[in-house]
Amino acid sequence: MTEPARQLLHLVIGGELTNLDQVTFKDLDKVDIVGVYPNYAAALAAWRAKAQQTVDNAHMRYFIVHLHRLLDPGQAADTKPAN
Asked whether the beta carbons of 50 and 34 are under 8 A apart, the reply is: yes
Close Cβ partners of 70 (under 8 Å, ≥ 6 residues apart): none
Considering the domain boundaries, does residue 43 fall inside one? yes
Q: Which domain holds residue 44?
A: 10-71
Taking the whole predicted model, whether its pTM rises above 0.85 is answered as no
> Can you tell me the distance from the alpha carbon of 41 to that of 54, in angstroms, rounded to the nearest whole number?
20
Considering the domain boundaries, does residue 50 fall inside one? yes
Considering the domain boundaries, does residue 5 fall inside one? no
Considering the domain boundaries, does residue 82 fall inside one? no
Compute CA 14 distance to the chain's CA centroid, rounded to the nearest angstrom.
8
For the sheet with 60-65, list strands across it: 32-37, 10-16, 60-65
Q: What is the pLDDT along the chain (83 residues), one digit of tens a residue?
A: 677 777 899 999 999 999 989 999 999 999 999 999 999 999 999 999 999 999 999 999 999 999 988 887 776 554 454 44
Domain at 30, CATH number: 3.30.70.2400
